[in-house]
């Protein structure tokens, strides 16, 4: 069973862990990460979750997402999840999250990664991911409006695309 570190509201590790699936103790948080991969055309790589997933089965989602396991840094978790889900070995050394979103009992770090990669170069983790494709802002907003993308405020999608554009200069 996967163990997660627990954090205070100030993002300080408490030294406590919890098991995946257990409720997060009141007033504490666990760390989650997302990697949003963008190509030169300004499209985001999105993945379709397996239909067997407990949460958001069959829905489209950001390029990569997952929880940091006990001992992981945010950066290490993002690199590990990218390798596991897409088969891509990336380095985020020197990068900080472009955005951190706090909601419920989660601290969710978002990394923006410019990377031109062919879909044929991906090695999707069969247990987690059933498909991947490139999508523009409007494509993702349409998927979201149609209930086919993991629930997110529409402004969150727009913000991630804006952060990518800002990073490009």
| Beta carbons of 61 and 47 less than 8 angstroms apart | yes
Does pTM surpass 0.75? Answer: yes
Give pLDDT tens digits for 15-35: 999 999 999 999 999 999 999
Quick check: helix, strand or coil at residue 127?
A: coil
- Domains assigned to the chain: 3-168 (3.90.79.10)
User: CA-to-CA distance for 123 and 42, rounded, in angstroms?
Assistant: 22
Confidence check: pLDDT of 169 > 80: no
Give pLDDT tens digits for 36-85: 999 999 999 999 999 998 889 999 999 999 999 999 999 999 999 999 99
Give pLDDT tens digits for 99-121: 999 989 999 999 999 999 999 99
User: CA-to-CA distance for 157 and 169, rounded, in angstroms?
Assistant: 19
E-only strand ranges, the chain = 3-7, 13-19, 30-38, 44-49, 60-61, 64-67, 99-103, 106-114, 129-135
| Beta carbons of 159 and 140 less than 8 angstroms apart | no
């Amino acid at each position: 069973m996967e163990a997660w570190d627990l954090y205070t509201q100030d993002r300080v590790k408490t030294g406590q862990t919890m098991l995946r699936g257990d409720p997060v103790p009141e007033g504490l948080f666990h760390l989650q990460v997302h990697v949003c991969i963008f190509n030169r055309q300004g499209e985001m790589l999105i993945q379709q979750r397996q239909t067997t997933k407990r949460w958001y089965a069959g829905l489209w989602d950001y390029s990569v997402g997952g929880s940091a396991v006990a001992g992981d840094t945010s950066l290490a978790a993002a690199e590990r999840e990218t390798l596991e889900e897409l088969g891509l070995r990336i380095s985020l050394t020197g990068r900080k999250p472009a955005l951190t979103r706090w909601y419920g009992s989660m601290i969710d770090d978002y990394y923006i990664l410019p990377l031109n990669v062919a879909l044929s170069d991906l090695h999707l983790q069969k247990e987690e991911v059933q498909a991947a494709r490139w999508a523009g802002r409007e494509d993702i907003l349409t998927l979201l409006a149609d209930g086919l993308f993991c629930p997110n405020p529409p402004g969150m999608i727009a913000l991630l695309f804006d952060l990518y554009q800002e990073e490009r200069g």
